[in-house]
Amino acid sequence: MSLAVKAVGIRKSFGSYEVLKGLDLEVAYGEVLCILGPSGSGKSTFLRCINHLETPNSGYVWVDGAIMGYELNRDALQELPIKRLRAQQSQLGMVFQHFNLFAHRTVLGNVIEGPMVVRGLRRAEAEARAMDLLEQVGMAGKALSYPSQLSGGQKQRVAIARSLAMEPRVMLFDEPTSALDPELVGEVLEVMRNLARGGTTMIVVTHEIGFAREVADRVVVMIDGEIRETGAPGQVLSNPGDPRVRTFLSRVLA
């Protein structure tokens, strides 16, 4: 099995509060993993540790066999310079809750920014790639619009296209529908379903249980900074072994 992501012993504290308590996780290429759990269980922090937006207090993450944020130098690990860290992070596309689009740039401008600045693509090449991706997420007709002219669902689809433009090895989604009005959730989930069908490696923090049941190859349930259950969606969501997981699911599935 070829591993896209491997996390070992991830711990993270903010002050005296320990958010993550020694997490281990492996994700294979082509796998869709959904992370579920109650608010405050550390799901988003774990996702941010995977792409080194947060530095773990202990433990390490490997992406495509390379340790995130560090290099081995004379048998000791040293932090990567910021430019090399950014290049490494570009292997991981990140879609946030609140879109994070550049308000002063058009939809097309948002999507071409990363490939041109980070990857050095020429504008014509970046724009051609961007238009293909906007077509893929159903937003090609809004290429010259600004974020203020878009609905929340449209902004999130642009955010997905922007992440895909960097040609990441893995896509990370942090509650991508939580900031959307209910009637806009479906359009974003459909884009994600299409990515999954196309074999995109995805780690998705979500509260959309139906999406996890339908699309995920594997489900992880986190509670109080720990992975309490992991397995196939049918098993975890229908017959979890951990009593705290059963309590959580009984509330969200009621």
* Residue-wise pLDDT tens digits, 147-162: 999 999 999 999 999 9
Q: What is the pLDDT of residue 163?
A: 95
d(C-alpha 22, C-alpha 143), whole Å = 43
d(C-alpha 195, C-alpha 177), whole Å = 16
CB atoms under 10 Å from CB of 125, counted, come to 13
- Judging by DSSP bridges, how do beta strands 226-231 and 218-223 pair with one another? antiparallel
Tokens linked to 174: 């942090």
Counting as low any pLDDT under 50, the low residues of the chain are none
Q: What is the pLDDT of residue 1?
A: 57
* Chain position carrying tokens 């000791």: 76
Structural contact between residues 99 and 111, judged by C-beta atoms closer than 8 angstroms: no
Q: What is the pLDDT of residue 206?
A: 94
Q: What is the pLDDT of residue 196?
A: 94
Full-prediction pTM beyond 0.85? yes
Residue 223's beta-bridge partner residues? 226
Residue 138: partners with Cβ closer than 8 Å, 6 or more residues away: 157, 187, 191
Q: What is the pLDDT of residue 147?
A: 95
